[in-house]
Every structure is written in structure tokens, then in C-alpha cells.
Amino acid sequence: MAASVSGETNACLHSVGDDFDCPILPGLPDDIAKYCLALVPRTYFPTMGTVSRRWRSFIIVRRLSGLVEEWIYVLSMDTNGDGTHWEVLDCFGNKQAVLPRMPGPVIAGFGVVVVNGKLIVMAGYSMVAGVGSVSSDVYQYDSCLNSWSKLSNMNVPRYDFACAEVNGMVYAVGGYGVDGDSLSCAEVYNPETDKWTLIESLRRPRWGCFACGFEGKLYVMGGRSSFTIGNSRFVDVYNPIEQSWCEMKNGCVMVTAHAVVGKKLFCIEWKNQRKLAIFNPEDGSWKMVGVPVTGSSRVGFRFGIIEDKLLLFSLEEEQGGGNTLMYDPNATTGSEWQTSKIKPSGLCLSCVTIKA
């Protein structure tokens, strides 16, 4: 009898097929088993994810129980400068993992969003054997399986476009198309159906722009338009409920870095990289905050987010004395700026935070 039970238990624990008739942890009610698995550190996600499809459900329980961990995913330039890799850092700056190489050719001008704790990389421009190509490919990284998978292609191949997650949906707007033409078209991705759908286009083409979500609406700003002289200050706002765009004229122009922390947008503009431009969507106002840097006049940053604080990863090795600048918008006046030991192994090209 003991041997029989052991055999059944082993079969359940190692099943990777249709295992929904097996208990999550033999001998325990499923609700209790989920909470037990929710206590396991995130480092073991990939191993646990391959044991059983039902074991992946503990991630939902982690969120409900407030047991989620924040990890920073950085697309970092290799030290020799001839390649890139995604690496994962925890809140102490410890490198937790290096992601498997993403399928497909090396791309530039791509978009990155996080949806349901998964990393999504979409579209972009690639050069293979001297031939340039604009992509509509979309890939997703699942930390539970430590692997990439292919999602449905976008309707329109594009690069240097704006993208953001709003209410669990992914939006892609503008950019350049296959012939180098500027685009005004926009589309939305539904993760539940794995389907891209075209939505109402912008009133004008727009490229080199960026996007973010506030209060259930999509904001697109920055970049250029063929109908304006110089860089655009127009902000295009899309309301998913009304399925229509409106316009305001109070945006940033050439933005080299942007991030949303709390309910505000933080930007670094190309012409003034020693100050943060902070946008409050409630009243459409902007304010400027000085960045405490000295030395070289050539200053550049990429942004990261950890625990509702803004990380400024320097694009110059000598900046910051080896430390990353950190801005806490909720700190008392005079103590907003600190330093952090969180630092990528190479030049930061892109950065997102995943809670799981």
C-alpha cells in the first residue's frame, strides 16, 4: 500500500501534461498547497514551473497574499560592446539570472512592456547580412518557465514607436513602417485572446515618441510629426471606452528616458539632461527637479523603478562614482536623492520592473 501511494505521489509531482486531476501537493487541500508554494522564493520559479502546470497558479496567490517580489529586468550591453543580454537584478542589486537569448535576430527600435508579470518585446528593426528589415514579431518571456514564446504578430511592422500597457491591454502607436514611412496607425493587443486589433489612427504620423497609461487612458507624447516643425509638444490621449483620441498641447519633446512612478510621469529631455521633468496628469502640469550630477557636460540616463523609487542608470561609466542615483518622490524635501548599489553589468539599453 505504501509503495502504491508513493508511486501515485511521484506521478503527480512530475506530471507536465494534463495534471488537473492531481492534487497540487498530495496530502494537502489545494488552497493550503497554493499558500505553501507561494512562500517559495522567486528564484525557484523556473524549476517549479516545469513540475506541473497547476504549480504555476501559486503566482496568483503570491499577489493576493502580498508576497510578491520586485525584480529589475535590464537589457544590458555586453562589456565588449558587441552584443546584448537580459539580466535580472533584485532590490539589493544582486544579479539573480541571465535570461535565455530571445528568438529572432538582434533588433533595435523595439517596444517593451510588462503584462501579468510577463515581459513582452515587440517589433523593431534588424539588419541581417546587410539587409534591413522591419519586424512585426512579438515575443514573451515567462519567468515561471524561464523561456521565451512567440505571440501573434502585430498587424503593422514598425519601429521607433510608442507602446504601453493600459488596463491589461498593450498599445502600439506610430513609428516607422517597412518603407521608412512615418505611421499614424495604432493597434491594441489582448493577452487573453492573443490577438492584435487596429484602433482609430492618430490625427498625424508620429515617430520617436513614447507612451504611458494613466487612469485607464493612453498618453502618447514626444517624438516628431511630419505636420509640425521640430519636435512635437502635442499629447495624444486615447480613451479605450470611447475608442477615440483627443489632444492636449503640453508635452515633453525629445525624451531620452521616461518612467511612471506612482501617478506621475518622469522624463529626461535631450536638451536638459540635468533635470527631471515631472508630469502630473491630474492637472496636466509639469515641474522640473535638478539632478545632482557634476563633472562632464555629457550626461545621459536610463530609468528603472524599484519600490516606487526612480533609478537613474548612467550612460557614462565615470558618472556617479560607480553608484546609481535614486529619486524618491515620497521623501521629505531635501532627502529625495540617494544612491543605490543596483547597477547593470553593462550599459543599460532598456529596463522594466516585474512583480511576481
Q: What does the pLDDT look like over 219-273, one tens digit per residue?
A: 999 888 776 656 778 899 999 999 999 998 887 878 889 999 989 999 998 888 8
Name residue 136's amino acid: S
Q: What does the pLDDT look like over 192-233, one tens digit per residue?
A: 999 999 999 999 999 999 999 999 999 999 888 776 656 778
At residue 10, the pLDDT reads: 38
User: How is residue 180 written as a grid cell?
Assistant: 521608412
At residue 61, the pLDDT reads: 62
- Nearest to 155, CA basis, from 101, 212, 201, 219: 201
CATH number for region 102-251? 2.120.10.80
Average pLDDT over residues 65-82: 80
User: How is residue 136 written as a grid cell?
Assistant: 512585426
3-state class (DSSP) for residue 319: helix
Q: Is the dihedral of CA 107, 113, 116, 117 positive or negative?
A: positive
Residue 66 pLDDT > 70: no
Give 58's pLDDT tier (boundaries 50, 70, 90).
Answer: low
Domain ranges of the chain: 2-65, 69-94+254-347, 102-251
Cα–Cα distances (Å) from 46 to 71, 90, 103, 115, 143, in that order, read 15, 16, 18, 18, 6
Q: What span, in angstroms and rounded, lies between the C-alpha atoms of 186 and 156?
A: 9
Count of helix runs (H) and strand runs (E) in the chain: 4, 25
Q: What does the pLDDT look like over 312-339, one tens digit per residue?
A: 998 876 544 467 999 999 999 889 999 9
pTM for the predicted model, two decimal places: 0.83
Percent of the chain with pLDDT over 90: 53
